[in-house]
Chain A
């Protein structure tokens, strides 16, 4: 039997993998670096859209410059680190000064991260946007649909769930048919949102 040389069995595979890794990492890094700016911009626009939506401020969805403009005019980020403020102080469409805070909670499959907007009383919602969720597509993930989010505007807790499409009073929230666990998760989040907002804003020195 032919003996393979030490080089071809031991050294070459290692050298080959090192070279291949270097080449591919360079290509991937190159693409990452060229798109980095754009990705960061996307993320920041995504957050800005969420805050404006939660505050009930209208904006053109597909126009990043306009969103940026409206945001800078109306929203002030308070505390926190770069890109993740503790809370937002917002000039509401009514002229009052409202707030928005991040509220997190457990969903069915993973964490639900939402931004709740508040009127100056820190009790009444101006709206909500769910920025991260991993609920079942077609069932629980319907929390991201417009009609579902719209129901939060003008409401204040503590809430109770009613059948889908039946909410009427300011303390009632529509549940989602076929997604009881998600509905309950959102109920929990909505119920603690006001408390979280009051705490955060007070800590911020207001």
Chain B
């Protein structure tokens, strides 16, 4: 039972109160950079989920072999390899998307969530648990980005996934697709989640 409880906690924590973006404030660089188009956000997020999950498993499986002194080098190498695999795959099979995402895919390597989970979780837990942790950290990152991208693209361009949603009456908020729009949206998101939802939960206890 205890094991199942741990699995559940490992899965729900990064999605809920220990979310990598709004609780740990990791991965902010890409949160700000890619969220002005929903399509790019979703593909970037899939890349991050893939990388966090597989790097978590691999690092966890090797954790007893990795010497403490060079563990960060080893982690970076493993993470970078998975990211390059994503990059090559996109380039070969989804060239149009790859063109649009450009350097962002490579930047997944520097996404702090992946390194953070490797250091904090995968180095100390079994591959199975690390897989769940990586997957849920990726999902926790993804849904926050999708919410932000939804509002940024919609308000900034009147479109979603490139399809016009708001008619001619809508004046595009140019600031939403520019970097400041991301700061505003992220701040509002953190405020709503922490101020309203998490506070209510605490009050209920």
Contacts and interface: CB of A to CB of B under 8 A. Distances in A.
A, B bound: yes
Interface of A: 8-9, 12-13, 16-17, 20-21, 24-25, 27-28, 31-32, 35, 38-39, 42-43, 46, 134, 136-139, 177-178
A13 B156 contact: no
8 contacts: A16-B65, A16-B74, A27-B81, A28-B85, A42-B91, A42-B92, A138-B36, A138-B178
B128 interface: no
A160 B70 CA distance: 59
Contacts of A16: 65-67, 70, 74
Nearest to A9: B69
Nearest to B58: A24
A136 B91 contact: no
A35 B88 contact: yes
A46 B177 CA distance: 27
Contact of B78 (A24, A43, A138): A24
Nearest to A61: B96
A115 to B, nearest CB: 15
A35 B69 contact: no
A9 B68 CA distance: 9
A12 B102 contact: no
Given A13-B69, A178-B172, A20 B92 contact: no
Contacts of A139: 174, 177-178
A42 B66 CA distance: 39
Contacts of B165: none
B101 to A, nearest CB: 10
A28 B40 contact: no
A15 to B, nearest CB: 9
Given A13-B69, A39-B92, 16 more contacts: A16-B65, A20-B74, A24-B77, A25-B81, A27-B81, A28-B81, A28-B84, A31-B89, A32-B88, A35-B88, A38-B92, A43-B95, A46-B95, A137-B177, A138-B157, A139-B177
